[in-house]
Copies of this chain bind each other. A is one copy, B any other.
Amino acid sequence: MKHGGDLTDAIARHGGAAEEWLDLSTGINPWPWPILQHLPESAWQRLPSRADSEALLEVARNAYGAPGGVDIAVATGTQALIQWLPYLGASGPVAIVGPTYSEHALAWRNAGHPVVAIDHPGACPDSAVHAIVVNPNNPDGRVTDHAALARVAARLKERGGWLIVDEAFADVDPAVSAAALCADLPVLILRSFGKFYGLAGLRLGFAIGAPEIAARIATALGPWPVSGPALLIGAAALADQPWADRTRHELQQQARALDEVLVKAGFAIAGGTSLFRLARHPQALQLHAALARQHIWCRSFDWADDLLRLGLPPDDAGLHRLAAALSG
């Protein structure tokens, strides 16, 4: 399974209609920000205006704590940024702290750059021009502190390289964000809108970094990089601080409830964030298959046969269904 969130393969192998499946294969919040019931028709019809784009960027800058003197660029999800970055930085090897989200390595390899897998930022070799840290990491939730990130970034600065910090899951704990480092170091922060706000289909993400890096990204992406609805919904959602605070709290509670079910079924919690849990079990792959036969989809990994990653069930019924399937 290459990615979470796509039941196409699961359905092909195990049958059932999409709506019968309990999809726990992603880290997407199942309680989305309530989208505007009546988006103005002009959001679909007109080319997105510079005014709408600037309004979104201003709200995003505030929501993500971008410091003064630092710029922000918008894209159709952080995935679009991951695809572009290997073409925009200095040429040379990239060190990636892993195991982690596999698309980083894939994009750099596809663009012809050597990729070095490392297991912590301090292991970044002298040969690496760039480094990538997913923070908190996916799937284990490991958090790298700001001092460690700053040390790597300072070394990369001497080589003309970038430290890319993928904060796709940082919304659940804003203190994790290393955005403050961007003011003095070649740190590029990636922020995903869709996961925490539960609107992955909208395709919206951001890059925060020094003005020259953000400008290079914006130039590469060109005009109208995101849809009109994404500009409006993104601006409204990112300005909704009470919703974000409440959601952080509720996700924590739901993650604890999921942990209880997993522990009761014999798993040990190995990490995660409050948007997904990483759980260890000696029969993880058999359990993955057993859940799939019961049309419950979670994530397994080709680098570990004792780990599963599970997103939050959308309701109590889903949680009970998971518990029953695991005990069956």
Q: How many copies does the complex hold?
A: 2
Q: Write out the residue numbers on chain B whose beta carbons fall within 8 Å of the beta carbon of A3.
A: 47, 223
Q: Write out the residue numbers on chain B whose beta carbons fall within 8 Å of the beta carbon of A42.
A: 201
In angstroms, Cα B30 to Cα A82, docked, is: 35
Q: How far is the CB of A168 from chain B (nearest CB, A)?
A: 13
Q: Judge if A93 is at the interface, Cβ distance under 8 Å.
A: no
**Size of chain A's interface in residues, with CB distance under 8 A?**
56
**Given A49-B6, A107-B222, A110-B219: A44 and B201 within 8 A (CB)?**
yes
Q: Judge if A323 is at the interface, Cβ distance under 8 Å.
A: no
A222 touches B51 (CB 8 A): no
B79 touches A226 (CB 8 A): no
A44 touches B199 (CB 8 A): yes
Closest to A201 in B: B228
Closest to A48 in B: B201
B76 touches A47 (CB 8 A): no
B35 touches A44 (CB 8 A): yes
B199 touches A45 (CB 8 A): yes
Q: Judge if A141 is at the interface, Cβ distance under 8 Å.
A: no
Q: How far is the CB of A5 from chain B (nearest CB, A)?
A: 4
Give A219-230 as 1s and 0s: 1 = Cβ < 8 Å from B's Cβ atoms.
111111111111
A79: which of B4, B11, B223 is its contact (CB, 8 Å)? B223
**Chain A 205-243 interface residues, beta-carbon cutoff 8 Å to B:** 219-230, 233
A49 touches B7 (CB 8 A): yes
Q: How far is the CB of A232 from chain B (nearest CB, A)?
A: 9
B229 touches A229 (CB 8 A): yes
**Given A42-B201, A227-B203, A227-B230: A220 and B110 within 8 A (CB)?**
yes
5 closest A-B pairs (Cβ-Cβ)? A201-B228, A5-B47, A83-B222, A8-B50, A203-B227
CB<8 Å pairs between A and B, sample of 10: A43-B201, A45-B200, A45-B201, A47-B194, A48-B201, A76-B226, A103-B223, A110-B219, A227-B227, A227-B229
